[in-house]
Amino acid sequence: MSDTILEVDRLHKAVQDAAGELTILHELSFTLCAGESVAIVGASGSGKSTLLSLLAGLDVPSSGQVRLLGQNLYALDEDGRAALRGAHVGFVFQSFQLLAHLTALENVLLPLELSGQPQAQEAARHMLQRVGLGQRLNHRPRLLSGGEQQRVALARAFVMRPTLLLADEPTGSLDAATGAQVMDLMFELNREHGTTLVLVTHDDGVAARCGRQLRLAAGRLVSSEAA
């Protein structure tokens, strides 16, 4: 299928603990297509964040495959996975993950400069203006509100025009009103860029805005529902 972005095939993750082997994810299989928005939902401990790490190639499964744009992530070494992520994957985290010693502009510039993108300054400034922070370019994170910091994180993610955006509880550190504004912006940017969005959330309202919900229970995929 030409518009398939991500294929997950019998993905399994188990770890050893004091009681023996603990299975975190039980042979999950699903496919994501270009431009799709998908919420991963379920109770705490159901395996949502582990799944997101495996989709990004940040963690290694016990068995199974994740294919990003047809490439099996786990057929690559760590450097190869990092290169594929850098070219095609963006991230937004609950804790913003901004570098405290850099300004808003420098935080957004960093991935552009690391990848050798031309006209990086112009692209970073434009994206910060797009998220409503054109007047805050030279402010460091400690001088920004939580909502402003998450807007910087969105700008940093989308400035690279990722094929796939992975978001882990992006409103978890924000109050309800600010979180709603940030989610409005995320979905607007996602539509504009045609990105495939995978969003881990406990918020049923946020999940309902996605085109599909993947529900986990005790590490098993129990439903894959269209909104």
* Residue type at 8 in one-letter notation: V
Residue 173: the pLDDT is 81
What's the confidence (pLDDT) of residue 116? 85
Residue 1 has a pLDDT of: 40
Which residues of the chain register pLDDT less than 70?
1-2, 226-227
Q: What is the pLDDT of residue 9?
A: 96
Specify whether the backbone of 136 is left (phi greater than 0), alpha (psi in -120 to 50) or beta: alpha
Cβ distance 54 to 225 under 8 Å? no
Is the separation of the CB atoms in 224 and 213 below 8 Å?
A: yes
Task: State residue 197 phi and psi, 5-degree precision.
Answer: -110, 130
Distance CA(16)–CA(208), nearest Å, equals 35
| pLDDT score, position 95 | 82
pLDDT score, position 143: 95
Q: What is the pTM of this model?
A: 0.87
- 34-60+72-226 domain in CATH 3.40.50.300? yes
Residues 6+ apart with CB under 8 A from 156: 90, 98, 107, 108, 110, 111
Strands (DSSP E) along 34-182, which ranges? 37-41, 63-68, 71-72, 89-93, 164-168
- Of 87, 57, 71, 66, nearest to 10 by C-alpha is 66
Task: Give the model's pLDDT for residue 103.
Answer: 96
pLDDT at 114: 86
Nearest residue to 23 via CA among 55, 72, 64: 64
30-75 pLDDT, tens digit each: 999 999 999 999 988 899 989 999 999 999 999 999 999 999 999 9
